[in-house]
A = this chain, B = another copy of it.
């Protein structure tokens, strides 16, 4: 066993990854709103968020895009920068666990007026071998 399951409920790897994917996106949304950002600092902030998320369990890949121009027109003079708002964020995260992979995304949907978190894809990389492998949960 690599590690015992932390869940009280019996979950498939796929199900556990979906829970974990939600944790990551919910966390990003509620952690970084309000960070001062400009077009010059946005890529560095995005990389820092990526590296933070990559520390978390099951994360295989994470891509963060921050577009400060979506924060509306700038103020002038000393106020000519933005604070991170939901509209600027586009986050794609992939989580994996022994052959199962979940891809999820956080992106602002103008049509819904909402920062939507959704599951983009669930893949079983090697379905036959995964079956053959005894469950280590």
Q: Which of B36, B76, B113, B121 contacts A56 (CB 8 A)?
A: B36
Q: What is the 8 Å Cβ interface bit string for chain A, positions 67-105, against chain B (1 contact, 0 not)? A: 000001111111101010110000000000000001110
Q: A118 to B8, Cβ gap below 8 A?
A: yes
Q: How many residues of A contact B (CB 8 A)?
A: 72
Give me 8 other A-B pairs in contact (C-beta within 8 A), A36-B56, A45-B51 excluded.
Answer: A8-B121, A18-B22, A19-B117, A25-B26, A26-B26, A30-B31, A30-B34, A31-B35
**Residues of chain B within 8 A of A55, CB atoms compared:** 36-38, 41, 81
A60 within 8 A of B: no
- Indicate if A33 sits at the interface (CB-CB under 8 A): yes
Total identical chains: 4
Verify B83–A86 contact, CB threshold 8 A: yes
Asked whether A125 is an interface residue with its Cβ less than 8 Å from the other chain, the reply is: no
Report the Cα distance A29→B33, complex, angstroms: 10
A41 surroundings in chain B (CB, below 8 A): 48, 51-52, 55
Interfacial chain B residues near A15, Cβ < 8 Å: 14-15, 18, 119
Kindly state whether residue A112 has any CB partner on chain B within 8 Å: yes
Rounded to whole angstroms, the CA-CA distance of A135 and B12 in the bound complex is 13
